[in-house]
Each structure stands twice: as C-alpha cells, then as structure tokens.
Chain A
Amino acid sequence: MITMDFLASVFLSGLSLAGIIGLMALGLGLIFGFQFIFTFAQAAFFSLGAYVGFNLMKLGLSFWVALPAVFVFVGILGMLTERYLLSRFDRSDPASVLIFTVGLGLAIVEIIRWTQGLGIKFMQLPAGLDGSIRVLGSMFPAYRLFIIGYSGVMFIVIWLFLNKTPIGLIIRAGISDREMVSALGINISRIDAIVFGLGTALAGVGGFITAPILILQPDIGTDLNLLSIVVIIVGGMRSFGGTVISALVCALLATAFLIISAPLSNIVIFLFMGIVLLVKPGGFFGEVTRYEH
C-alpha cells in the first residue's frame, strides 16, 4: 500500500538526488558550453572532493569550514589542469581532450586509492544535521534536506554569477560566440581556466556533500557522473534552466523506479535519454549549434 507519507519521502529523496547530479551536470555543461570540450574526469574530481573533505574533517575542521575549503581546493586543481594541460590541445580536436581526461580520471582515482587505502570509510554527518525533521507529514533525514537547500542556494549563486557579474557576462557571451569574444580583445584562455575550475569545483563539493550518505570509496563518482551526463543531454548542453529542470525530472524518474529495483531505474533513465535524443536531438532546452552535428 502506497501512502502519502511514502510518496512524500520518495519525492524528497528525488529532490536531493536532483541537487547532487544537478550540480555535477551544471559544471559539465558550463565546461562543454564554453570550451567545447567534454570531460570524463568529473567523476574523479567528485571523488577527490569527497576524500579531501573527509580528511579535512578528520583533522578537526568543522563541516562548514571544510565545505568552502573543498570548493576552493578542487577548483584550483581544476584551474591548474586547464591552464597547464588542457589548454595545449587544439580546439578542433575534442576527441583527444576527451581521451586525455579519461587518463586524468584514472590517475586521480588511483592516487586516491593509493593514499587512502582500500578500506571502506564512513563519513560522519555534521553535527545538527544528523536527526530527522517532519516534512509534509513524514519524518525525513535532516541531512537530505540540507543537500536540497544547499544545491538550491548554489544554483542561485551560479545564476547570479553568470548573469550579474562582468566575468559571467563574458562566459555567457563566450557560450554563444567564442570567436567574437576573443576578437573583442578579451583574454579568453584566462576565462577558460575559471570556467573549468568552477566546473570541477562543483563536482568536488557535490562529492563532499554526498559522501556522508554513501559509502566512501575511490570510484564513488562513476555512477553519478553517468547520471549527470544523462541530465545535460536531456536538458540541452548549454542551457542553465534546462539543466536544472532536467536534473529534477531525471532524479524523480530514477527515484520513482528505484522502489521497484535499482537496475530497472537505470534502464528507465538511459532509455529516457535515448528517446529524448531521437525526438529532440538538442535536448529539451538546447539547440544544436554549428560546432556540433
């Protein structure tokens, strides 16, 4: 018997999943939209964020200090990656960058495995968020609500960053016409590093806030990375609103079928993506630009 309580808790679980994969997808979409490169290393940066945060908390830092620290650390690492490695590649050859990021991801995950050991680790829930709260008539873990709230705030902050700041203006301009922006005398390679750093930082904090509700292991990011790929394909690669809505739709769909069985939920999600690509090749809110066919 499916009760209202049950439906409410499924809905809220779906929302928290939407927050996590939405953050990852937003990073992926920003990088692809601005730089026309697709990275498979997001899963590794997700794990890296989780492990860096875990170790910072083990050193005695509070969750609230570790959170921005992870964002900054993974972001700077992403910026360095772009500046010294990815910027060497020819933009007309996205396949090389793609395969390069596969290698990068392998290396990062193995370094994590090397330094952290193979043992399974559990991250403590931050103090104050370890209880349950009554929402919509049913008890719900407070930490899940925190994930929903935090990712909502992050979406708003990034929207403000893109729409109300000078750098955001350049990024949006670059997404619609990259060559024109550099023709106007703007040093676009510096912006590249910022965008890539922001993208990886979003994956990193995503990993950190997800770590307490999952078992911490070096390849923790793989499945969620695949889900975030579905999100940006369904939503359209370079649409902010599309990514957010698509994250909600995909996460609710996945959570709804998760009740029946985990493999079935994944089958539905990937079938959904296949159908969307057939019916609307650019995703629901995107369009196919002249750079992709």
Chain B
Amino acid sequence: MDVFRKALKRVGLVNVSIIAILLLIAALPLFTTYSLGMDVLIFGLFAMSYNIIHGHMGQVSFGHCMFFGLGAYFTALLLYWLRLPSQISWIYLPLGVTGATLVAILVGTVVLQRRGIYFTLTNVAFQQLFYFLVLQLKGITKGDEGISNIPVPFDLMRLPLFYVSLGIVVGAVFLMKRIFIDSSFGLVLHAVRDSEERTQFVGYNTFRHMLKAYVMSAMFAALAGGLYVMHLHYVGLTMMRFELNAEVVIMTVLGGARSFIGPLIGAAVFYVMKDFITSNVGHWQLILGILVMAIIMFLRDGLVGRIKALKF
C-alpha cells in the first residue's frame, strides 16, 4: 500500500486520474453505445476549448456555440456542395476550421471591447446573428431542415471515426495544456483573469493576449463542430441553437472550470447522465437544472476541484 502511495505521488494523482478517465472514455463504447462515446469526445473537446475563455481568461460567454456551429456548417457545406473524391475530401475539415477561425478574429475584435456581463451578452448577440443568418440563407444551408446525407471522407469512414477523434482530442488536450498552462502566454492569461488592470500596468497588451486566446478557443470549438458533422453525416440548426451555449457552460462548471481536464470530465458526466436519465427516469432538464444550481452553490470548483481537494 505504501509502495502504491509513493508511486502515485511520483506520477501525481491528477495525472493518474487524467489517464484513467481517458481510458474510461476510450472504453465507453464497450459498455454503452458508440454514439454516446462520440458525444462525450466531441462535446468534451468543445467544452475544453470553451474553458480557455471561461476558466483561463475569466470571462463567461453564452455564445460560444457559434464557432462550433460555424465549424460544422463550413465543413458540411464544403463537403456537400463542392464534392471531391473521398480520399482527399478530408481537406475540408481544416478548411472549415480555418473559415470559422477567420470569423472568430473579426467577432473577437468586437466582443473583446467589453468585459463581464457585456462580453457575455455581446457573444449572445453574435451567436443569434449567425443562427438567423443560417436560417435566412436557405438556398445554401437548407434552413430549418438542415443537410443530411453529407458525404464524409472515405478514410474517416473506414477507420472508426471514434478513435480518430479520440486521437484528435488527446492531441488537442496536450497542445492546449502546453500552450495554456506551461507557457508564458498561459501565465499572462491567468494574470488577466485575476486582474486585467494590473497586467496592463506591468506592460502587457492584454487585448492582444485575450484575442489570441479567444481565437484559439474558437478554433478548437470549430474542430469539434467539423468532427460532429463527420460523425452524424448531417448538419442542422440544432448545432447552433441558444441552448447549446448553456449546455457547454454547464459541462464546464460541472467538471470544474479551474482545472484543465475538468470540462472533458464534465462532458462525460453530462452525456452519460443524460443518456441514463432520459431513458430511465425522464425530466432530464429538471434534474439538470437542480444539478447546476447545486454545483454552483456547493461545489464551486466542480467535480475535479472536489477530487483534487481529497486527501490521500
């Protein structure tokens, strides 16, 4: 027992639990459904990308699903309208993500003019703007119905997409962790979260740092959106609706916004619970609402914060 405890201490409890959780998520399709595992991975990536703004930059956005949706729509529209042989059509995923990232530079420049509640609400405004834009441009997006039967890249079809996206998620986790926690950029961002004014006095251009973080966050959200399209072979307005903003914030605080891996765990708990409750108990939204209120009141740092606070 002592040896075990020492080994645990050397690797670090948090790292052990991260690996354990990734393994658990990788094994999800074994004891639940394949599509539940996909939901956890894709929305876990989405929630982690959102957490760059929420947990690391200290701003709450209720519009982040615009980038998820834009990534999804750009990828889907390219795949659907500009057909390429399936061996090379995977190129549309990075192209779609690039498109959404360019939009994020423009939107970020505007929304980062303000902080706090105004930042939150300006994001809502832009998310609504893009939602209705998709609805308005019926000729291209097919509006309400969405586009089904999207041809997805051949290689991604053959390889189980689940494991491809697992690879992308794990890669993104380490990339984001390096960029955000281990670099000077991450430190400045945390300083901005704690006090933007003081960071400015030290001589940092806080706006530039925040914009970088915002765009990077949007990029990973768009990647999640593009992957979701390839999983479903479908794109629709449900990927841009207002409720999705709330859901991603909930996943983030559920897992713990202050920890890096928290949102992924939050997404896993969210979708496993949703799956169980909607099929066995019902009234998922009521239970979710009560859970959100309880988490905010009693577990300020989410589930991961609670695990970290345990003494071993």
Chain A positions within 8 Å of B, measured between CB atoms, are 32, 38, 40, 85, 88, 94-96, 98-100, 102-111, 113-114, 222, 226, 229-230, 233, 261, 263-264, 266-267, 270-271, 273-274, 277-278, 281, 292-293
* Distance (whole angstroms) from the CB of B174 to the closest CB of chain A: 28
A-B contact pairs, 7 of them (CB 8 A): A98-B60, A98-B120, A103-B296, A106-B286, A107-B286, A233-B125, A263-B132
Contact A270 B60 (CB under 8 A): no
B136 and A85 within 8 A (CB)? no
Q: Which residues of B contact A114 (CB under 8 A)?
A: 283, 286
Q: Does B36 reach chain A (CB closer than 8 Å)?
A: no
Instruction: State A100–B297 Cα separation when bound (angstroms).
Output: 8
Asked if B132 and A233 sit within 8 Å, CB to CB, the answer is no
Q: Contact at B289–A105, with CB atoms within 8 Å?
A: yes
Q: Please, how many angstroms separate the alpha-carbon atoms of A275 and B299 in the complex?
A: 38
User: Are A233 and B118 closer than 8 Å at their CB atoms?
Assistant: yes
A263 to B128, CA, bound (A): 10
Q: Contact: A267 with B132, CB < 8 Å?
A: yes
Contacts of B250 in A (CB 8 A): 99, 102-103
Q: How many A-B residue pairs have CB under 8 A?
A: 121
The 4 closest A-B pairs by CB, nearest first: A103-B292, A107-B289, A106-B289, A110-B286
Contact of B114 (CB < 8 Å), options: A88, A107, A113, A293: A293
- B285-A274 in contact (CB<8A): no
For residue B147, CB closer than 8 A to chain A, the reply is no
Determine which of A110, A111, A293 lies in contact with B196 in the assembled complex, contact meaning CB atoms within 8 Å. Answer: A293
Chain A residues near B128: list those with CB within 8 A: 226, 266, 270
* Residue B300 lies at the interface, judged by CB distance under 8 Å to chain A: yes
Contacts of A263 in B (CB 8 A): 132-133, 135-136
Check if B234 is an interface residue, CB within 8 A of chain A.
Answer: no
Contacts of B132 in A (CB 8 A): 263-264, 266-267, 270
| Complex interface: chain B residues within 8 A of A281 (CB) | 113-114, 118
A-chain residues with CB within 8 Å of residue B122 when the two chains form the complex: 233, 273-274, 277
Q: Is B170 an interface residue (CB 8 A)?
A: no
Is the interface on chain B under 10, 10 to 19, 20 to 34, or 35 or more residues? 35 or more
Chain A residues near B117 (CB-CB < 8 A): 32, 38, 94, 98, 292
A73 to B85, CA, bound (A): 63
Further 15 A-B residue pairs, CB within 8 A, beyond A266-B132, A273-B125: A38-B117, A38-B120, A38-B121, A88-B297, A94-B116, A99-B253, A99-B292, A102-B250, A103-B293, A106-B286, A110-B283, A226-B124, A267-B129, A270-B132, A277-B118
Q: Shortest Cβ distance from B76 into chain A, in angstroms?
A: 19
Q: Is B290 in contact with chain A by the CB < 8 A criterion?
A: yes
Of the candidates B129, B196, B246, B284, which one forms a contact with A270 in the assembled complex, judged by CB atoms under 8 Å apart?
B129
Evaluate contact between B288 and A99: CB separation under 8 angstroms.
no
Query: Which residues of B77-118 have CB atoms within 8 Å of chain A's CB atoms?
Result: 110, 113-118
Max chain A CB contacts within 10 Å: which of B117, B122, B126? B117
The distance from the CB of B143 to the nearest CB of chain A, in whole angstroms, is: 8
B249 within 8 A of A: yes
Known A-B contacts A85-B293, A230-B125; the reply to A99 vs B135 at CB < 8 A is no
Give the distance in Å from the alpha carbon of A107 to the alpha carbon of B293 in the complex: 9
Given A96-B300, A271-B129, A107 and B118 contact (CB-CB distance below 8 Å): no
B residues bordering A, Cβ < 8 Å? 60, 62, 110, 113-118, 120-122, 124-126, 128-129, 132-133, 135-136, 196, 242, 246, 249-250, 253, 283-286, 288-293, 296-297, 300
B296 lies within 8 A of A270 (CB): no
A274 to B296, alpha carbons, bound, how many Å?
Answer: 30
Q: Which residues from A are CB-within-8-Å of B60?
A: 95, 98-99
Contact of A293 among B116, B126, B136, B249 (CB under 8 A): B116
Q: Within the complex, what minimum Cβ distance (angstroms) separates A44 from chain B?
A: 9
B237 nearest CB across to chain A (Å)? 11
Given A103-B291, A226-B128, A266-B128, verify A293-B113 contact (CB < 8 Å).
no
Contact B135 A106 (CB under 8 A): no
Report chain B residues within 8 Å CB of A108: 289
Q: Which residues in B have their C-beta under 8 angstroms from that of A113?
A: 285
Say whether A103 contacts B125, CB under 8 Å. Answer: no
Query: Are B136 and A109 interface neighbours, CB within 8 A?
Result: no
What is the bound-complex CA distance between A88 and B62, given in angstroms?
23
A229 to chain B minimum Cβ distance, whole angstroms, is 6
* B113 cross-chain contacts in A, Cβ below 8 A: 277-278, 281
Give the residues in chain A near B284, CB-CB below 8 Å.
110
The answer to whether B290 touches A107 (Cβ under 8 A) is: yes
Q: Which residue of B lies closest to A260 (CB)?
A: B136
Give the nearest-CB partner of A114 in chain B: B283
The CA-CA distance from A104 to B297 in the complex, in Å, is 12
Q: How far is the CA of A267 from the CA of B135 in the complex (A)?
A: 10
Report which residue of B128, B288, B291 has the largest number of chain A beta carbons within 10 angstroms of its beta carbon. Answer: B128
Q: Which residues of A contact B136 (CB under 8 A)?
A: 261, 263-264, 267
Least CB distance from A257 to B in Å reads 11
